[in-house]
């Protein structure tokens, strides 16, 4: 057989179509009748929010590059204009499917007494409430605009919901004017209606349309339609030329709200004249206009989920497992002197992470605290702890100002920390600080010792309840010394020859990951088992993909658990026969990164902040840490990884042609795949909940589900 060229574009899936396939899997959870009804509504809202960000960042960048004259091909062989045409088709189909889902969920919700009503469906009491609400709450916040030579088209900010109107003056009936009303952001997008027996809502945009005639006296409203414009939200910073990065980010945030338009959503059935006028104003091509068969902005359906107290229509709540110290330990520091601790959130409580930092702030024996902050929650307990500690000990914080969509809150935290006397740094020019590190130095009875927390997730107690992440606590001298050196790199750009045992991007992480993959290939060539299991959010780096291809060709067995983007094409004969890729989308967002290498029986497992993407390997400061504790390695390998590999309910299998199929029940009934003989439906996240609650042993025999591989047709593009 001829040797395959790893540069062949046919062996790489397109990044953006792969991302859309991930968002499709989110939408499938909204379509899946097995999920609780209100959870399905939440999945639909998540898919809409995800699509917003995709247009704000990825599509906006693509459009900007094409306008600037770039049309280069990526690793998959697609030029930017090729990709634009593909994305135009796929995103329109996706939006149509979203609204098909909504129009299925709406009557299902009504059957359970949760109604999202239109104006024509209101009874007398509700209509009286609406009229009063419009007069007292809504009208004072509205500013109607009629576009004419003295009233230019208003500046519509990013993702602001608006009402577009065609107006005709009663005294000059031959002319029509464009009217625009911005829906106030200070009011809820879904207004709760008074009702004794049902939970009723109406969209605020409908109330604005209802009230429009009271604002446009002297006009007849020919037609109206709600619309929403998505703008380019990329930050264009010249870091090397910036005197003050904080002020540069703050200034650029102001411009984000006014970036070029990249998409307009508008109610289906809108008058073509309104669509044409708006499209001209926003300088959009026809493919960038999305008529929708329902409410504009489905992400606002989060409001229904949050305001509806129906636990019978949501996932069963559970209490995460609390960290318990052994009888010999008075505190977590004494426990860490005996052994490392690994927590798996949200199955294990995040309180232990908060307590680690809070107790350090209050403990007089703790001499210094060093902390990275990428995204933290609005009411963070960590930042006040650092502020409180600053008057008594050395406190250093590395705050990443460029964490997308968290820039404003990070600027606020950075200023508060600086005002309290914390030494605040903003990382390195040209690199985002994405590693999740906390380092404490404490004077113990037997001497000064360092303690570290290394995580896969942000220091955010809110997302810790809905993201799966790992937290490693350790007092291992080699690891804590290396963490100290990473902080020196972040604050002084001081590069060490080695950060062993850590893998640190952009210094040596990519090189060492490829070396670990190549080692498994060498084991396989020597007749020893070559084994890789890797769990991550995204796999995109071409060098890593090629290393995995080589390992498969050498005979190594590879299982990849990739939540989102995956550019690797599995199941290609002679190239990736031994690579299997699955994605798990369920109740919790899979966010943990775990990298297992069999190493001929001397297994090694790493965890940390880095995915296998170019931005993680070369454009960010990331850290992976080896799991040294044998008990922890056993838990990660057999409790966590085995569970995700056995999942046959929430997992989808990536085929060689770039499509994903379920391992269990179909959503739309197109692939009626039956469960393996004698197998029962198994969900990894549900299993891990039962383990955390003590209702099931962690050494429970996990089911093995065979995966049928399908080879990719030659020349098939995603």
The sign one gets for the Cα dihedral 605, 21, 649, 458 is positive
CA 314 to chain centre: 21
Per CATH, the number for 332-496 is: 3.30.870.10
- Note if 434 is an active site residue: yes
The reported pLDDT for the residue numbered 381 is 87
SS (HEC) of 15-29: HHHHHHHHHHHHHHH
Residue 509: both structure tokens together:
């992480």
Which position has the token pair 């200034």?
A: 251
Looking at per-residue pLDDT, the higher value among 416 and 633 belongs to 633
Residue 62: both structure tokens together:
């693509």
Nearest-angstrom CA–CA distance, 616 and 431: 10
Residue 188: both structure tokens together:
């809820």
Nearest-angstrom CA–CA distance, 486 and 492: 10
Q: Of these residues, 211, 434, 453, 591, which one is catalytic?
A: 434
Cα angle for residues 370, 376, 382 (degrees, 5° grid): 50
**Check whether domain 504-692 has CATH 1.20.58.2050, yes or no:** no
Asked which of 167-176, 361-370, 637-646, 698-707 is least confident by mean pLDDT, the reply is: 698-707
> Tens digit of pLDDT for each residue in 25-77?
999 999 999 999 999 999 999 999 999 999 999 999 899 889 888 888 889 99
Helix axes 351-362, 382-389, angle to 10 degrees: 10
* In the chain, domain spans: 11-313, 332-496, 504-692
Nearest-angstrom CA–CA distance, 156 and 179: 13
C-alpha distances out from residue 270 to 144, 221, 333, 425, 633, Å = 19, 13, 64, 51, 59
The reported pLDDT for the residue numbered 714 is 43
The reported pLDDT for the residue numbered 715 is 44
The reported pLDDT for the residue numbered 251 is 53
User: Mean of the pLDDT values across residues 685-692?
Assistant: 95
> Tens digit of pLDDT for each residue in 618-665?
999 999 999 999 999 999 999 999 999 999 999 999 999 999 998 864
The sign one gets for the Cα dihedral 47, 53, 56, 60 is negative
Q: List the one residue out of 150, 149, 151 whose CA is nearest residue 181.
A: 151
Please, what CATH class does the domain formed by 11-313 belong to? alpha beta
Asked which of 311-320, 397-406, 611-620 is least confident by mean pLDDT, the reply is: 397-406
Nearest-angstrom CA–CA distance, 454 and 342: 10
Residue 198: both structure tokens together:
């049902």
Looking at per-residue pLDDT, the higher value among 532 and 153 belongs to 532
> Tens digit of pLDDT for each residue in 162-181?
999 999 988 767 788 899 99
Cα angle for residues 318, 324, 326 (degrees, 5° grid): 160
- The reply to whether 11-313 and 332-496 are identical in fold is no
């Amino acid at each position: 057989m001829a040797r395959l060229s790893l540069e062949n574009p046919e062996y790489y899936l397109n990044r953006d179509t792969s991302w859309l396939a991930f968002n499709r899997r989110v939408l499938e959870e909204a379509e899946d009748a097995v999920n609780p009804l209100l959870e399905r509504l939440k999945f639909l809202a998540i898919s809409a929010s995800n699509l917003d960000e995709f247009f704000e960042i990825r599509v906006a960048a693509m459009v900007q590059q094409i306008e600037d004259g770039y049309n280069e091909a990526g690793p998959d062989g697609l030029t930017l204009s090729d990709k634009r045409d593909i994305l135009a088709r796929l995103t329109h189909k996706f939006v149509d499917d979203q609204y098909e889902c909504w129009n299925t969920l709406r009557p299902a919700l009504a059957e359970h007494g949760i109604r999202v009503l239109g104006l024509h469906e209101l009874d007398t009491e509700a209509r009286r409430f609406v009229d009063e609400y419009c007069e007292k709450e809504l009208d004072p916040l509205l500013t109607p605009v009629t576009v004419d030579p003295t009233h230019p088209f208003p500046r519509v900010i990013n993702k602001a919901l608006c009402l577009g109107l065609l107006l005709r003056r009663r005294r000059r009936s031959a002319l029509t004017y464009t009217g625009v009303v911005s829906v106030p952001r200070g009011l809820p997008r879904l207004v709760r209606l008074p009702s004794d027996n049902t939970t009723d809502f109406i969209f605020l945009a409908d109330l604005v349309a209802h009230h429009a005639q009271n604002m446009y006296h002297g006009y007849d409203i020919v037609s109206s339609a709600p619309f929403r414009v998505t703008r380019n939200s990329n930050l264009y910073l010249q870091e090397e030329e910036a005197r003050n990065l904080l002020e540069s980010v703050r200034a650029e945030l102001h411009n984000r709200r006014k970036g070029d338009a990249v998409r307009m959503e508008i109610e289906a059935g809108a008058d073509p004249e309104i669509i044409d006028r708006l499209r001209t104003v926003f300088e959009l091509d026809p493919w960038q206009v999305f008529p929708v068969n329902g409410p504009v902005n489905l992400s606002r359906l989060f409001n229904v989920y949050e305001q509806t107290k129906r636990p019978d229509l949501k996932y069963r709540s559970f209490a995460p497992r609390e960290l318990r110290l052994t009888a010999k330990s008075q505190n977590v520091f004494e426990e860490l002197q005996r052994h490392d601790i690994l927590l798996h959130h949200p199955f294990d409580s995040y309180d232990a992470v908060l307590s680690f930092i809070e107790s350090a702030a209050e403990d007089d024996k703790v001499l210094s605290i060093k902390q990275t902050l990428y995204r933290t929650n609005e009411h963070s307990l960590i930042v006040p702890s650092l502020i409180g500690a600053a008057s008594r000990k050395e406190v250093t914080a590395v705050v990443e100002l460029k964490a997308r969509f968290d820039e404003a809150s990070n600027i606020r935290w950075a200023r508060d920390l600086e005002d309290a006397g914390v030494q605040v740094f903003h990382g390195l020019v040209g690199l985002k600080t994405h590693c999740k590190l906390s380092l404490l130095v404490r004077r113990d009875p037997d001497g000064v010792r360092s303690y570290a927390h290394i995580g896969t997730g942000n220091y955010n107690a809110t997302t810790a309840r809905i993201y799966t992440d790992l937290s490693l606590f350790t007092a291992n001298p080699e690891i804590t010394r290396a963490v100290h050196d990473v902080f020196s790199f972040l604050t002084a750009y001081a590069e060490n020859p080695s950060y062993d045992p850590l893998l640190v991007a952009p210094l040596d992480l990519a090189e060492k990951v490829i070396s670990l993959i190549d080692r498994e290939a060498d084991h396989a060539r020597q007749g020893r088992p070559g084994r890789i299991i890797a769990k991550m959010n995204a796999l995109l780096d071409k060098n890593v993909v090629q290393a995995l291809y080589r390992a498969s060709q050498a005979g190594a067995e590879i299982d990849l658990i990739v939540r989102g983007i995956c550019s690797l094409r599995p199941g290609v004969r002679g190239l990736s026969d031994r690579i299997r890729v699955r994605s798990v989308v369920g109740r919790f967002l899979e966010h943990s990164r775990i990298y297992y290498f069999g190493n001929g029986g001397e297994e090694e497992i790493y965890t940390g902040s880095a995915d296998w993407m170019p931005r993680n390997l070369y454009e960010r400061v990331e850290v992976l840490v080896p799991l040294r504790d044998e008990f922890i390695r056993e838990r990660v390998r057999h409790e966590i990884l085995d569970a995700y590999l056995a999942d046959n309910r929430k997992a989808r299998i990536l085929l060689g042609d770039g499509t994903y199929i379920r391992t269990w029940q179909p959503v739309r009934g197109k692939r009626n795949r039956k469960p393996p003989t004698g197998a029962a439906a198994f969900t990894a996240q549900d299993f891990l909940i039962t383990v955390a609650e003590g209702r099931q042993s962690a050494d429970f025999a996990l089911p093995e589900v065979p995966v049928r591989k399908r080879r990719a047709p030659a020349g098939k593009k995603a």
